[in-house]
Chain A
Amino acid sequence: MKTKKLGALAVAATLAFCLLLTLPGAAWAQKRGGTLTVGLESEPQGFDAAVVGTGDGSTQTVALAIHDTLLWRDTTQGKLLPMVAASHAFTEDKKKLIFKIREGMKFHDGTPFTAHALVFFWNRILDPNSKNTIRPFMGPIQGVSAPDDHTFQFELKHPWLALFKNLGGANLTSAIPSPKALESGTQQRHPVGAGPFRFKSWTGGDRIVLERNPDYWDAEHVYLDQVVFRFLPDEQARYAGLKSGELDVIWTDRGISIEKAKSDPELTVLEKEGLGGTIYIMNTTKPPLDNPQVRQALAHAFNQEALRKVVYRNTRPFIRHPFGPESTCDSHYREHDPTRARALLAEYGQPVTLESLHTNNSRGQESAALIQQFFGDVGVQVKPVLFDQTTYFKKILTGDFVFSGWRIGDMAGIEPQLSALTHSQSSYNITRYKSPEIDKLLTEYRTADTEEKSDALGCQLIQRVNDAATMFFGTGNHYYVLTRKNVKNVQIAISNGVIRIAEAWKE
């Protein structure tokens, strides 16, 4: 009898333990205090969105620790969570997006965080004299206003779902700075936000140090005392720093490090698949790519699977459209089919030679060699041309290229990028392909008032692009963050692989 009781007790204890294990880690094991050291690939460019635009991944990672955002896209389920905005709503015609701002919040400099701070921030971005790179994508915003201290609203020219989707991202237009810091011109090098950590110091070329903000509205869920962001452009140095314990978290895109870390018991590999991806663009105004058959042949000659293996060591996904893994869009993607490519070139009837433009870094060189091989297999002679990044940008944006690699950036609301990339009147239409049908489709896509309509129209747009073969997809975006085993609850943002450490802790 006694043995039975003991047995039942043991079963109950085991069940309770198992139940405990199934609880989310964040719910039971947090430890307060300590310093988290994060190794970034580059030094932030600064924190004034009007000066640096959206910012690169390193800038966004640091900005996200200092500033708060209106909403935050949950990194596991993709839902938009309330942050500064306690609630939000569209008007019936979807031409106004209204946010109710939390009360009692303060920036790190002690000034109150009200809806007027948001108006000031957004008016600065929307100012026609602003050098902000994202302003040209904000065309549908008619204005912003604050009817009272705690109500902030976007007034739109038409329904525009992309805005709402992107407000939960991590770029500098989401990170809200103190108007006082913006006005005094100090925001760029001495950022002031209302986020979980306060700026403490910035040693050029070395590190940025942040300390816990005890006045944060959600301070209960901020566990670390201090965060140090170190700038280590050399990936091997970052990995060595992580292995030796000098760093707790690093960002990487190197297949070798990712493979090593996966088999290392001291390290954890976090990963997240993003939207967008690398693409290959064709200048449709330059021969021989002004001929659709040649473009279609090149799209069929391209072998995405081989590129993934050789250049990215299978660390990036195969994609047929830029809408991410959840989308079921049948995009009319041109599969790797050398026979079809040769047939199309035979129909064209002339020898095809072209210059293929790439950046002169190792990725660009590998990519150039593979493109030469893929196209060579179907009889197209390719001359790779490699340039430094600034020259490369200039050549693409001024149309001084025939064929090149490029990318569609990772944003939850991808429509503004696709519109800019494909609309006849857009100065960012780098393939120079003009189609009234695509323009009409883009207008409907941009003004779609439901997710379903928007998704369907986006898919139709990519179908037209794949039909015309003005560009084709390289590989998808996939992000990797490596941490020491004792580091918990580091998150990778849905867009751009930005690292979110707001609720992280160290065991």
Chain B
Amino acid sequence: MRFIILRLRRLLLVMFLVSLLTFVLVNWLPGDVAYQKAGMEASKELVQSIRQELGLDQPVLLRFVKWLGAFVTGDWGRSFLTGEDVREAILSRFPVSFELMILAQLIALGLALPLGIISATRAGGLADRAIAVFAFFSLSIPSFMGAILLITFFSLLLGLLPATDYQPLSAGLWANLRSFILPALSIALVEWTVLMRVLRAEMIGVLQEVYILVARAKGLPRWRIIFFHALRPSLFTMITILGLQVGGLLGGSLIVESIFALPGVGRLLIQAIYSRDFMIIQGVVTFIALVYVLVNFLVDMLYAVLDPRIRMEADHG
């Protein structure tokens, strides 16, 4: 319990600092949304009146306090440019980014787990070297390039999967999944290699532990030693990285979202940054930070489940 309270306290502090820093830094950015809103033929008077209307003439900290007060009561403000409700804008796009992230990580794990185990158990062998070559080749292609290659091959040449035809879940499960396969694959092709390399390195170490030797001496089958005794302690670093990747992907898959025309959070953020739409930027960054710390909070919890020593250390101070 004490372990959970400690982590939650840290979570709230991180959230406050992230939102404050974002607010201050975004306001320091050069450029002014009032000029964007007023357009190319704007007069000074019009720009000034828009600044007043948006409250941009008030001190930054005062605006932050107002924003924070409203945010905790569920009012995340409205887009300076379009008047769209920020909370609605984020929550309507979040499922898209979330689904993309989950599918990308599932594909990445689907590749990393078996190939990582094969690599570790046959370290230095032909299979290990072949997997390493494939991994470095995959890693060396940036996700945007991978996305374009996948579109060219699967959409334009073979006509098997859509290039830009995003379909929500309400259009049917298969229609929805079809529109996510290529984007998720283009992310996974970069992500899986990191997971695989980490798993391989950890497992090679674990396989040399005394208790594995004992298990072998007891005559346990090889697959049982690997899956029941070696895999669990080899997963710690991989889970940490998975947690970091999850947070990063939620707001960071904007290039892939743009190429495949997925209406996700990343695209919303990048458009807001270009147009200096502070309320959207503030809302999205705070939201991503919230998801990020929550995911990493869950990862911490998972550590405690995987290793009772962590739980006990925290409980006993």
Contacts and interface: CB of A to CB of B under 8 A. Distances in A.
Interface of A: 39, 42-43, 45-46, 51-54, 131, 133-134, 136-137, 188-189, 203-206, 230-234, 236-238, 240-241, 243-244, 246-247, 387-391, 393-394, 397-398, 406-407, 409, 417, 420, 427-428
Instruction: Identify the interface centre among B41, B259, B267: most chain A CB within 10 Å of its CB.
Output: B41
A407 B40 contact: yes
B156 A397 contact: no
B164 A398 contact: no
A236 B40 contact: no
Contact of A206 (B32, B50, B166): B166
A126 to B, nearest CB: 14
A237 B179 CA distance: 14
A240 B83 contact: no
B276 interface: yes
Nearest to B50: A131
Given A244-B155, A389-B274, A409 B41 contact: yes
B47 A397 contact: yes
Contacts of A244: 155-156, 159, 162-164
B254 to A, nearest CB: 11
B93 interface: yes
Chain A to chain B: the 3 pairs with minimum beta-carbon distance, closest first: A205-B263, A390-B31, A206-B263
A234 B258 contact: yes
A140 B150 CA distance: 57
B259 A390 contact: no
Contacts of B88: 204
A46 B82 contact: yes
A107 to B, nearest CB: 21
B45 interface: yes
B27 to A, nearest CB: 13
Contacts of B57: none
A417 B151 contact: no
Interface string B25-42: 000001111011111111
A428 B40 CA distance: 9
A133 B38 contact: yes
A390 B41 contact: no
Contact of A133 (B42, B162, B275): B42
B264 A205 contact: yes
Contacts of A188: 82-83
Contacts of A205: 89, 92-93, 96, 263-264, 267-268
Contacts, number: 145
B49 A393 contact: no
Contacts of B41: 133-134, 136-137, 409, 417, 420, 428
Contacts of B268: 204-205
Instruction: Identify the interface centre among B96, B258, B261, B276: most chain A CB within 10 Å of its CB.
Output: B261
B258 A409 contact: no
A437 to B, nearest CB: 24
Interface residues of B, number: 53
Interface of B: 30-33, 35-47, 49-50, 53, 81-84, 88-89, 92-93, 96, 148, 151-152, 155-156, 159, 162-166, 168, 258-261, 263-264, 267-268, 271, 274-276
Contacts of B276: 388, 390
B43 A240 contact: no
B185 to A, nearest CB: 16
Contact of B261 (A131, A231, A387, A407): A231
Contacts of B258: 233-234, 237
Given A131-B53, A409-B40, A397 B35 contact: yes
Contacts of B156: 240, 243-244
Contact of B271 (A137, A233, A398, A406): A233
A483 to B, nearest CB: 16
Nearest to B260: A237
Contacts of B163: 237, 240-241, 243-244, 246
A236 B50 contact: no
A45 B81 contact: yes
Contacts of A393: 35-36, 38, 40, 42
A248 to B, nearest CB: 12
Given A206-B166, A246-B162, A394 B82 contact: no
Given A206-B263, A232-B261, A427-B45, A240 B35 contact: no
B164 A232 contact: yes
Contacts of A409: 40-41
B166 A131 contact: no
A243 B157 CA distance: 10
B83 A51 contact: yes
Contact of B35 (A247, A394, A428): A394
B166 A136 contact: no
B164 A246 contact: yes
Given A45-B82, A231-B261, A428-B41, A388 B164 contact: no
Contacts of B36: 389-390, 393
Contacts of A389: 31, 36, 274-275
Contacts of B30: 387-388, 390-391
A131 B46 contact: yes
A241 B165 CA distance: 8
Contacts of A231: 261, 263
Instruction: Identify the interface centre among A204, A232, A387, A398: most chain B CB within 10 Å of its CB.
Output: A204
B261 A394 contact: no
A241 B261 contact: yes
B164 A394 contact: no
Nearest to B151: A240
A136 B271 contact: no
A264 to B, nearest CB: 12
B44 A398 contact: yes
A204 B164 contact: no
B90 to A, nearest CB: 9
B164 A189 contact: no
B44 A397 contact: yes
Contacts of B38: 53, 131, 133, 393
Contacts of B165: 241, 246
B53 A189 contact: no
Contacts of A189: 82-84
Contacts of A417: 41
